[in-house]
Chain A
Amino acid sequence: MITDAAQYLISALSLGGLYALMALGLVIVYGILKLINFAYGELIMVAGYGMLIIGRSPWPWIFVAILSVICAILAALVMERVAFRPVRNSSPTTMLITSFAVSALLQNLALLIISPRPQVPRLPDYFSRNFSVRGVRIAALDLMGLIVSVLALILLTLFLRRTVIGLSLRAAADDFTMTRLMGVRANMVIAVAFAISGLMAGIVALFWIGNTRSTTPTIGLEPVLIAFIASVVGGMSSMKGAVLGGYVLGFLTIGLQTWLPQDINAYRDAVLFGIVILVLLVRPEGIVRPAYSREAR
């Protein structure tokens, strides 16, 4: 019993951490620009293909991993500069549609330039190792995912609390214009937000692909949908909400997988997105309530 619970806990925390990072990557851009970046999934795809191509070199895997994450960050910055900056002042619907188009563009570029077939990137052996601690079977990948995601969250929190840029990001989510009136450059803040988004996507890619063991042009779809659900449910305007949503979703997913019979589990997507619709209708700001009242202007 206890071993089951421990196994569940570790899997759920690991998956939840990953989902939390995913949701955060989405929300950090949304908070400032009110842009829901569909093309976020393609950042994961870029990292995946980075792993594929750079993995062909003889370098140690940790190098490959870091470079792949950098690829995702660069892709995010380019995306911002080329596609999103021009539509920055448009309505949220326009921006949403633009991100949809960017997503389609990138997927098809991958299809064209690389291949529609799944490709297997080089992965380190320790990714497939399992070990036992007092009867609890732990997958090394899960453990690493857990540790890395928690670390990333801690570092990000420190960044957002202690540095001026981090403060600017949080302030921009409250009131973008006022942040500019503090002398903070708009372009810089937005670029940093996208870069963080890319960083999150890159880290997620490492563990996602570590799990699925292959990368395809459409690999970004499932993560972005998950990030989406987690953020809407947790509250799109709140980074804390995104993290919470991610963990809740992680726990829910593992729980359902473990305990629900297969045929009901197949309706999982319908249920999850049904919940999204419900949240939007009933409590659009998400589950997490801000700790103060927003000042009306």
Chain B
Amino acid sequence: MKYIETSNRAVWSRLSTPVILVAIVLMIAAITMVREDVVFERVVIVMFINLLLVVGLQTFMGNSGLGSFGQYAFVLIGAYASIWFSLTPQQKNLALPDMPKDWWLYDQQYPFVAAVLAAGLVAMVVGAIIGIAFVRLRGASFTIATFAFLIVVHSVALQWEQVTRGSRTVIGIPRYTSLWIAAAWAIAVILVGYVFKESTIGLKLRASREDEDAAASIGVNVKLMRWLGWTLSVFLSGIGGALWAHFIQQFSPQSFYLKETFLIVAMLVIGGSASVSGAVIGAVAVAMTSEGMRQFENWWNLERQTETDIGAILPFQLIGFTEIVIALAMILILVLRPSGIMGGRELSWPFGSSGGPPATVVEDAQPAALAHQDPVS
């Protein structure tokens, strides 16, 4: 790893970031374990998996400056691939009854860790191939292409019954993702994401984020850097899918589509896409807020049904309230503080800002001047 500043203070500052982030995850996991509240534990496991996905997305989006709406295509692939590798043939009879019994896949069954990694690899291979074509695209075209890819994968998954059971729900998946397993994988992904960001490749990629042509002119192979970041991000997304599959225990292609994409993108945008801390904070903040909202929704809907005065004042059911709050928060951030809560900076100790300028995925570099719009190619 190469660092720009060489002072000791700066080095400690940089190293402190992953430590702090890991500590956050550990703390939350510890609190959860102590509370012994099953519902809360579920919420936290979901949060850890989402956190993993957001960091995975950040690895690409934050460093390259390109938006991607296609992540869940790979989460889907990871989820299905993981059960190909983790279920015994008997379990597969139940979960994927249409899978031909003479396929090689049918017999494969490995310990959970291997299955998760294999799932990540399958996703990564698909992503790597697609990525070769996509990295040629600019800006919004890239984002659109990833979005189109999500739809393609979704549509194919709905049909390909031998490997996905089509539109029907896959069931009977054992619950392998426990609290500490989710926490461990989340921590691993945080570390990978951070190391990537600070590595030479990550640095070059970030250079291309600010100014693609300038980076190219100093010898950065922009396409290659993008491809590397993309492939890594896809790998991490596949892992997230695998963990999710073995937590939720049943799913269909519908579980990996627009609503979920929106949530992860929202988390990243709200937290701040330019830093790993932003991803983590975004995931935690949105998860905690959602949970709070959901409890509020439940309380509201329950109160309505009682005969109390409060019940009379609340004339309507609250549905979708949580999503509204998240969408509003996202819009507010985009309008008022596009660089997100963390503003592109990393959490570090001592509390200086360790990290680049507050540039983000989504900011257009138009400083003092109201420059004219460039034609978008």
Tell whether, in the assembled complex, residue A177 and residue B373 are in contact, meaning their CB atoms are under 8 Å apart.
yes
Tell whether, in the assembled complex, residue B362 and residue A112 are in contact, meaning their CB atoms are under 8 Å apart.
no
Is A288 engaged at the interface, CB distance under 8 Å to the other chain? Answer: no
Known interface pairs A270-B152, A273-B152, A274-B152. Does A108 touch B141 (Cβ–Cβ under 8 Å)? Answer: no
Tell whether, in the assembled complex, residue A94 and residue B144 are in contact, meaning their CB atoms are under 8 Å apart.
no
Report A253-295 residues with CB < 8 Å from chain B CB: 263, 266-270, 273-274, 276-277, 280-281, 284, 294
Bound together, the chains give a CA A276 to CA B154 distance in angstroms of 15
Tell whether, in the assembled complex, residue B156 and residue A267 are in contact, meaning their CB atoms are under 8 Å apart.
yes
Bound together, the chains give a CA A277 to CA B154 distance in angstroms of 15
Which of B140, B151, B327, B373 is the one whose CB lies under 8 Å from A93? Answer: B140
Closest CB in chain B relative to A82 CB, distance in Å: 9
Tell whether, in the assembled complex, residue B144 and residue A276 are in contact, meaning their CB atoms are under 8 Å apart.
yes
Bound together, the chains give a CA A98 to CA B362 distance in angstroms of 10
Chain B residues positioned under 8 Å from A94 (CB to CB): 334, 338, 361-364
Is B320 engaged at the interface, CB distance under 8 Å to the other chain? Answer: yes
Flag the segment in B19-27, B240-248, B262-270 that touches A.
B262-270
Tell whether, in the assembled complex, residue A176 and residue B320 are in contact, meaning their CB atoms are under 8 Å apart.
no
Bound together, the chains give a CA A273 to CA B330 distance in angstroms of 27
Tell whether, in the assembled complex, residue B324 and residue A98 are in contact, meaning their CB atoms are under 8 Å apart.
no
Which of B67, B158, B318 is the one whose CB lies under 8 Å from A96? Answer: B67
Flag the segment in B93-101, B131-139, B225-233 that touches A.
B131-139
Tell whether, in the assembled complex, residue A101 and residue B373 are in contact, meaning their CB atoms are under 8 Å apart.
no
Is B357 engaged at the interface, CB distance under 8 Å to the other chain? Answer: no
Tell whether, in the assembled complex, residue B376 and residue A34 are in contact, meaning their CB atoms are under 8 Å apart.
yes
Is A252 engaged at the interface, CB distance under 8 Å to the other chain? Answer: no
Closest CB in chain B relative to A56 CB, distance in Å: 18
Is B331 engaged at the interface, CB distance under 8 Å to the other chain? Answer: yes
Is A144 engaged at the interface, CB distance under 8 Å to the other chain? Answer: no
Which of A108, A228, A281, A294 is the one whose CB lies under 8 Å from B320? Answer: A108
- A interface size (C-beta, 8 A): 48
Closest CB in chain A relative to B361 CB, distance in Å: 7
Known interface pairs A108-B324, A267-B155. Does A232 touch B372 (Cβ–Cβ under 8 Å)? Answer: no
Known interface pairs A108-B324, A277-B149, A281-B133. Does A98 touch B372 (Cβ–Cβ under 8 Å)? Answer: no
Interface of B is mostly: helix
Is A91 engaged at the interface, CB distance under 8 Å to the other chain? Answer: yes
Chain A residues positioned under 8 Å from B372 (CB to CB): 176-178
Which of B136, B151, B334, B375 is the one whose CB lies under 8 Å from A225? Answer: B151
Taken residue by residue from 317 to 358, chain B's Cβ proximity to chain A (1 for < 8 Å, 0 otherwise) reads as 011110110111011001100100000000000000000000
Chain B residues positioned under 8 Å from A102 (CB to CB): 327, 331
Tell whether, in the assembled complex, residue A93 and residue B156 are in contact, meaning their CB atoms are under 8 Å apart.
no
Closest CB in chain B relative to A263 CB, distance in Å: 8
Taken residue by residue from 278 to 297, chain B's Cβ proximity to chain A (1 for < 8 Å, 0 otherwise) reads as 00000000000000000000
Which of B141, B328, B364 is the one whose CB lies under 8 Å from A90? Answer: B364
Tell whether, in the assembled complex, residue B362 and residue A91 are in contact, meaning their CB atoms are under 8 Å apart.
yes
Is A86 engaged at the interface, CB distance under 8 Å to the other chain? Answer: yes
Is A116 engaged at the interface, CB distance under 8 Å to the other chain? Answer: yes
Known interface pairs A267-B155, A273-B148, A273-B152. Does A90 touch B327 (Cβ–Cβ under 8 Å)? Answer: no
Chain B residues positioned under 8 Å from A267 (CB to CB): 155-156, 159
Report A42-99 residues with CB < 8 Å from chain B CB: 83, 86-87, 89-94, 96-98
Tell whether, in the assembled complex, residue A112 and residue B318 are in contact, meaning their CB atoms are under 8 Å apart.
yes
Closest CB in chain A relative to B42 CB, distance in Å: 23
Tell whether, in the assembled complex, residue B265 and residue A105 are in contact, meaning their CB atoms are under 8 Å apart.
no
Which of A89, A97, A178, A281 is the one whose CB lies under 8 Å from B334? Answer: A97
Closest CB in chain B relative to A90 CB, distance in Å: 5
Which residue of chain A lies nearest to B331 when distances are taken between CB atoms in the complex?
A101
Interface of A is mostly: helix
Chain B residues positioned under 8 Å from A90 (CB to CB): 334, 338, 362-364
Bound together, the chains give a CA A90 to CA B377 distance in angstroms of 16
Tell whether, in the assembled complex, residue B323 and residue A108 are in contact, meaning their CB atoms are under 8 Å apart.
yes
Is B306 engaged at the interface, CB distance under 8 Å to the other chain? Answer: no
Bound together, the chains give a CA A113 to CA B136 distance in angstroms of 44
Is A12 engaged at the interface, CB distance under 8 Å to the other chain? Answer: no
Tell whether, in the assembled complex, residue B265 and residue A284 are in contact, meaning their CB atoms are under 8 Å apart.
no
Closest CB in chain A relative to B129 CB, distance in Å: 13
Tell whether, in the assembled complex, residue A266 and residue B159 are in contact, meaning their CB atoms are under 8 Å apart.
yes
Which residue of chain A lies nearest to B138 when distances are taken between CB atoms in the complex?
A284
Is A109 engaged at the interface, CB distance under 8 Å to the other chain? Answer: yes
Chain A residues positioned under 8 Å from B156 (CB to CB): 267, 270
Bound together, the chains give a CA A294 to CA B338 distance in angstroms of 33
Which of B140, B149, B154 is the one whose CB lies under 8 Å from A36? Answer: B140
Tell whether, in the assembled complex, residue B327 and residue A108 are in contact, meaning their CB atoms are under 8 Å apart.
yes
Bound together, the chains give a CA A8 to CA B55 distance in angstroms of 50
Tell whether, in the assembled complex, residue B151 and residue A112 are in contact, meaning their CB atoms are under 8 Å apart.
no
Which of A36, A89, A96, A107 is the one whose CB lies under 8 Å from B364? Answer: A89
Chain B residues positioned under 8 Å from A177 (CB to CB): 372-373
Tell whether, in the assembled complex, residue A294 and residue B375 are in contact, meaning their CB atoms are under 8 Å apart.
yes
Bound together, the chains give a CA A91 to CA B326 distance in angstroms of 22
Chain B residues positioned under 8 Å from A178 (CB to CB): 372
Bound together, the chains give a CA A97 to CA B331 distance in angstroms of 9
Which residue of chain B lies nearest to A33 when distances are taken between CB atoms in the complex?
B373
Chain A residues positioned under 8 Å from B143 (CB to CB): 93, 96
Extra contacts besides A34-B373, A281-B136 (15): CB < 8 Å: A36-B140, A90-B363, A92-B139, A92-B376, A94-B334, A96-B143, A101-B266, A102-B331, A105-B327, A105-B331, A267-B159, A277-B145, A280-B137, A280-B141, A284-B137
A-B contact pairs, 15 of them (CB 8 A): A86-B335, A89-B364, A90-B363, A93-B140, A100-B265, A101-B266, A108-B321, A108-B327, A116-B319, A269-B154, A270-B152, A273-B149, A273-B152, A276-B144, A281-B133
The 8 nearest A-B residue pairs measured at CB: A94-B362, A177-B372, A105-B327, A108-B320, A111-B320, A270-B155, A92-B140, A269-B155
Q: Name B's A-contacting residues (CB within 8 A).
A: 65-67, 69, 133-134, 136-137, 139-141, 143-145, 148-149, 151-152, 154-156, 158-159, 258, 262, 265-266, 269, 316, 318-321, 323-324, 326-328, 330-331, 334-335, 338, 361-364, 366, 370, 372-373, 375-377
